[in-house]
Amino acid sequence: MTFLFEIIKTILLGIVEGITEWLPISSTGHMILLNDVLRLNVSEGFWNMFNVVIQLGAILAVVVIYFKKLWPFAKSKSLQENMLFNVGSIGLKKNTMLLWAKVIVAMLPAALIGIPFDDWFEEHLHTSPVVAAALILYGILFIAVEKGNMNKTFAVDSVDDISFKTALGIGVFQALSLVPGTSRSGSTILGASLLSVSRSAAAEFSFFLAVPVMLGASIIKSLKFALEVASGETVFGGTDILFLLVGCAVAFAVSMAAIKFLTDFVKKHSFSAFGVYRIILGVIVLIVYFVK
């Protein structure tokens, strides 16, 4: 019965990850709140790794949905005008390679700060008050930015039209998501909006940018956890593997729906509703923190 209850918790965590990773409402904030209410019975080291690695399921959803746009190879005869070069009957798509180049440029700021200071951020900023403050602050910013964007004509309406300079600017805003509670997607979307990128293009670029960023974070966390296991600092067993597999699978399935929802939502609505939600969630996190 206890094992079944832990599986149910894992499923709930996968659902929360799948929804909150893509919507600009902070997956970290939701994970902290859910962990306070329904803690998974695992070691601290595994929990820290689990939080990041189940994002692999969410990443897979982006790859599946946007495979044609992200996959750089195609039959050269089908897209002659879009080929960077051909090798036999296979060509390298110019637009896709340019997109990946912009994604790499955009991920540099977060990588330059996050890789050397990852442990410091985790030790000093992964607290409920910090998450709550970030949720509320970014909620207010979302509402303010969307108010300023009313009836605005955006300079960039497609991911393909994002320049390298704009991509770097979006990357600088993404680096702010190293502070838990800001939300990676929230930071990139908010930054893109301030740089005159349309909501739909901002959301889509945020999806693409997540792939290398989240993959890199998962690798780093997995390596750290592996070192802890090798040193005997923590234990990794068969049930832990099952928790990871279940969490990733659920996150993938839910992410498929969440990504589709957001892409449809931003065509007709602003992000103000997410701002209001963030403020409410931030207040709840503070209440839970001070009363527990």
Task: Name the packing angle between helices 2-20 and 27-37 (round to 10°).
Answer: 160
Q: Token digits for 248? A: 């990733």
CA distance 237 to 54: 17
The predicted pLDDT at position 123 comes to: 83
Residue 35 is encoded by which pair of tokens?
């962990």
Contact 203, 189 (CB under 8 A): yes
Whether residue 177 contacts residue 184, with contact meaning beta carbons closer than 8 Å, is answered with yes
Residues contacting residue 279 through CB under 8 Å, at least 6 positions apart: 135, 136, 139, 140
Domain count, the chain: 1
- What is the pTM (predicted TM-score) of this model? 0.86
* Rg, the chain, Cα only: 20
Residue bearing tokens 């902290």: 32
Rounded to 5°, the CA angle 116-119-125 comes to 115
Please give the pLDDT value at position 118. Answer: 78
Other C-beta atoms within 10 Å of 273: how many? Answer: 14
* Residue where the block lists tokens 């399935």: 253
And the tokens for 256? 């498929």
pLDDT at 206: 94
At 151, list the tokens.
Answer: 């009836």
Structural domain span for residue 242: 2-291
Walk along the chain (292 residues) and give the pLDDT tens digit of each residue: 688 889 999 999 999 999 999 999 988 778 877 877 777 888 878 887 888 888 889 999 999 999 988 988 776 555 555 665 565 566 678 888 999 999 999 999 988 998 888 778 878 888 889 999 999 999 999 999 999 888 888 999 999 999 999 999 999 999 998 898 899 899 999 999 999 999 999 999 999 999 998 888 888 888 888 888 888 777 777 788 899 999 999 999 999 999 999 999 988 888 999 999 999 999 988 888 888 7
Check residue 83 and give its pLDDT: 63
Q: How far apart are CA 207 and CA 222, in angstroms?
A: 22
